[in-house]
Structure 1
Amino acid sequence: MRKFAGTMDDSATGVDTVRQWTPRFEGWNLAPMAGVPIVGLMFVGRFNTITDTWRDSAGILTEVLRTDSGKVSKAADNYVAAQRASTIK
């Protein structure tokens, strides 16, 4: 169970890393698109909307994974304590 909790925590770290590195088009990185027609700029708006949605979702997923990994780890501690307290072998 502890290994699974560790995997959940590692997954949270991975999701958070991807969330932070998700690209978003801003004014400074649109310079190469100066010759792109208005339709291309509409695509940029949609891309940024998708990026924002992904970042929000990834933030929620990261929080859930971290919280639940703590719960799973605590459950493992409880099982170990119950095993030690048990007189049944």
Structure 2
Amino acid sequence: MSGAASALRLSVLDQSPVGAGFSPADSLRASVELAQAAEELGYVRYWTAEHHGSPGFAGCAPEILAAVLPDMADASLGTWLKPSMAPGSWNS
């Protein structure tokens, strides 16, 4: 690639949704396949979202997904948790 296209760094954000008729295990398998495809296509990072207490999403622990992903030579795994509670409210 050359010019502006070579400077464009793309990433994937996967929420691991559990579709109708699918199990959380199906969703995690699809996430692994997506991460593999992202690496093959040259994406620089595969992001996974954390969802706690959301039955429509299988991705609650990125550490588990990271453990089942094959070694990613070119892309890396990232996660971000948006605070949804006031600081310290989870300690009560």
Common topology (TM > 0.5): no
Larger radius of gyration: 1
Structure number with the bigger relative contact order (C-alpha 8 A, sep ≥ 6) is 1
Structure with more of its chain in strand, by fraction: 2
Structure with more of its chain in helix, by fraction: 1
TM-score (norm 2): 0.31
